[in-house]
């Protein structure tokens, strides 16, 4: 089945306009057109893959530098004292575009922007169960 390029790939290639913060050989950052707060930026790999764990090694290795520099830029430009970094890794996690992207959302005291719902505490024995299951999967 032929897969069409994602909207992000089309923006990166210049087919669709975007407001870029930066572009390099591995990563780009552009403004989200429906921001949670002004200055909401998307950090997107040039490589079109849906899941973080499918990113090429060099792209993944460069993520830390690009992310920390972009967080600093968002804080400086917006005056925000904090930033949410959000990844929806797959459609079940609310990933709207099947191309890895990280949301950097400037946060301000009292802005009431919800980015993470409150959960429910674990029941008896569940915390230990999930810790063990995840430790085994990590090994």
% of the chain at pLDDT higher than 70: 99
pLDDT in tens, 44-84: 999 999 999 999 999 999 999 999 999 999 999 999 999 99
- Residues 30-51 pLDDT 10s: 999 999 999 999 999 999 999 9
Supply the pTM of this predicted model.
0.90
Whole-number pLDDT of residue 2: 59
Is the backbone of residue 111 left (phi > 0), alpha (psi -120 to 50) or beta? alpha
Selected from 3.40.50.300, 3.30.428.10, 3.40.50.2000, 3.90.1170.50, the CATH number assigned to the domain covering 7-138 reads 3.30.428.10
Tokens found for residue 128? 């230990």
Instruction: Give the pair of three-digit tokens for residue 138.
Output: 């990590």
pLDDT of residue 119: 82
- The reply to whether 101 belongs to the active site is yes
d(CA 92, CA 114): 19
Q: Which residue among 40, 99, 101, 103 is the active-site one? A: 101
């Amino acid at each position: 089945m032929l897969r069409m390029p994602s909207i992000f790939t089309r923006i990166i290639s210049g087919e669709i306009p975007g407001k870029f913060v930066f572009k390099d050989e591995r990563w780009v950052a552009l403004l989200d057109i429906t921001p949670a707060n002004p200055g909401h930026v998307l950090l997107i790999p040039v490589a079109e893959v849906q899941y973080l764990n499918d990113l090429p090694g060099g792209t993944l290795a460069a993520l830390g530098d690009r992310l920390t520099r972009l967080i600093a830029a968002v804080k400086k430009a917006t005056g925000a004292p904090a930033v949410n970094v959000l990844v929806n890794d797959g459609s079940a996690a609310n990933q709207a575009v099947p191309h890895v992207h990280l949301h950097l959302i400037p946060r301000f005291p009292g802005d009431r922007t919800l980015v993470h719902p409150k959960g429910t505490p674990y029941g008896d024995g569940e915390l230990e169960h999930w810790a063990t299951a995840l430790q085994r999967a990590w090994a």
